Amino acid sequence: MKKNGLLVLLAALLVIIPLWWARGSEFGGTDDQAEKAIQTLNPHYRPWFESIFTPPGSEVETLLFSLQAALGAGVIGYVVGLYKGRSERKNSHDSRI
């Protein structure tokens, strides 16, 4: 039980320390940085197409990104569990033979 508590504390510190260290910084996405770099290199550049959907605010954009990450983690967890279950079932079947 102590080991789990220590791991949770370590995970919380890994989140809190960088945010405290860089307080007052603006956290922009890579899309913004890429757009600025393109405008610097080629001010007359025009995108090939426009976005189909533009979220109404940064909160909605963050929500959609979080949902995407959660869905991906769920799929990965399901696949890992599926293969682990198959391997355990195969090992228990092989040990009976």
pLDDT in tens, 7-36: 999 999 998 888 788 777 666 677 778 888
Mean pLDDT, all residues of the chain: 85
Mean pLDDT of 40-69: 85
Q: Does residue 55 have a pLDDT over 70?
A: yes
24 conformational bin, left if phi > 0, alpha if psi -120 to 50, beta if neither: left
pLDDT, position 97: 62
Written as one letter, the residue type at 69 is A
Q: Does residue 81 have a pLDDT over 70?
A: yes
| Residues whose CB is less than 8 angstroms from the CB of residue 64 and which lie 6 or more positions away in sequence, other chains included | 55
